[in-house]
Amino acid sequence: MTSKTNREQERAWNGDEGAYWARHHELFEGSLARYQPAFLAAAAIEPGHRVLDVGCGTGVTTRAAAAAAPAGHAVGVDLSSAMLDVARELAGRAGLANISFERADAQVHPFRSGAFDVVISRTGSMFFEGPRAAFANLCRGLAPGGRLVLLTWQQPGRQEWINEFARALTGRELPASAPGGPGPFSLSDPDEVRAVLGAAGFTGIELTAVSEAMNYGRTVGEAHEFLLGLLGWMLQGQDDARRAASAENLRRVLAGHATPDGVCFGSSAWLITARSG
């Protein structure tokens, strides 16, 4: 069910990374909450629409799609069993009957041709080893004239969040441009996005820049624990004293970003829209 090339992503998402995300789903889903209004406005889901949510994670956008399409339905696909378990539970709690989830690699899953009116993905479409093949597969799943709506990150140099965290924990920022290959910044270059989606069969490709604050927790303590768990890999190679100093640096940075609404950092994304055929 997973293409050979996506096995590494599957190991991460269907392993520790996905499990951490599932355990902290409220914080992960909440961190992107300020992007949700623009994302849903672009998705423009109508009552009868059939919606596919790619890399749906714990399903916050799938639930929103299902609620907007009471006479249609929303299907969420993801690589992570742990995240999908949470997605199913939350959809059940929300009382949504027109929603389903499937563990699938969106790059190769045999979606029925023309089965969807809208394909959405909120930061879930940057992890394909073969992006052209993956988006061609999604294009086949769309009805003629169906719409693709993605939220992806702009270049790392435009992300206060990851650079502040990296500087606090390692003393260095990330390189300003994204490296090639699958990862959070693989769809950050507009020319590359147009080339990939165009080659996959999409037309009318438009990118709109959107900037919002990411919220990492209600308190500094909550954000600190959450981020140390998430970014522990950045401390690799540091001895105990250095690790303690790095953790303290991070706490100081978080305290500087505490607001009445939470611990917030700037970020920049692309809202990408396109049509099949």
32 touches ligand SAM (CB under 6 A): yes
- For ligand SAM, the closer of residues 42 and 220 by Cβ is 42
Stretch that binds ligand SAM, among 118-126, 189-197, 208-216, 221-229 (CB under 6 A): 118-126
Tell me the two tokens of residue 177.
């441009």
Q: What are phi and psi of 181, to 5 degrees?
A: 90, 165
163 touches ligand SAM (CB under 6 A): no
9 touches ligand SAM (CB under 6 A): yes
- Whether residue 178 contacts residue 189, with contact meaning beta carbons closer than 8 Å, is answered with yes
78 touches ligand SAM (CB under 6 A): yes
276 touches ligand SAM (CB under 6 A): no
DSSP 8-state code for residue 79: S
Among 22, 63, 86, 107, binds ligand SAM (CB under 6 A): 107
Cα of 174 vs its chain's centroid, Å: 19
138 touches ligand SAM (CB under 6 A): no
- Please choose, from the candidates 99, 96, 122, 105, the residue with its C-alpha nearest in 3D space to the C-alpha of residue 39: 122
128 touches ligand SAM (CB under 6 A): yes
- Please choose, from the candidates 73, 139, 122, 128, the residue with its C-alpha nearest in 3D space to the C-alpha of residue 105: 128
24 touches ligand SAM (CB under 6 A): no
Give dist(CA 83, CA 150) in Å, integer: 20
CB of 62 to ligand SAM, least distance (A): 8
Helix (H, G, I), strand (E, B) or coil at 78: strand
| Residues in Cβ contact with 132 at an 8 Å cutoff, skipping those fewer than 6 apart | 196, 199, 200
18 touches ligand SAM (CB under 6 A): yes
Give dist(CA 192, CA 203) in Å, integer: 14
CB of 104 to ligand SAM, least distance (A): 6
Among 86, 99, 105, 178, binds ligand SAM (CB under 6 A): 105
Residues of the shown chain interacting with ligand SAM in the complex, contacts defined by CB under 6 A = 6, 9, 13, 18, 28-29, 32, 55-57, 60-61, 77-80, 83, 105-107, 122-124, 127-128
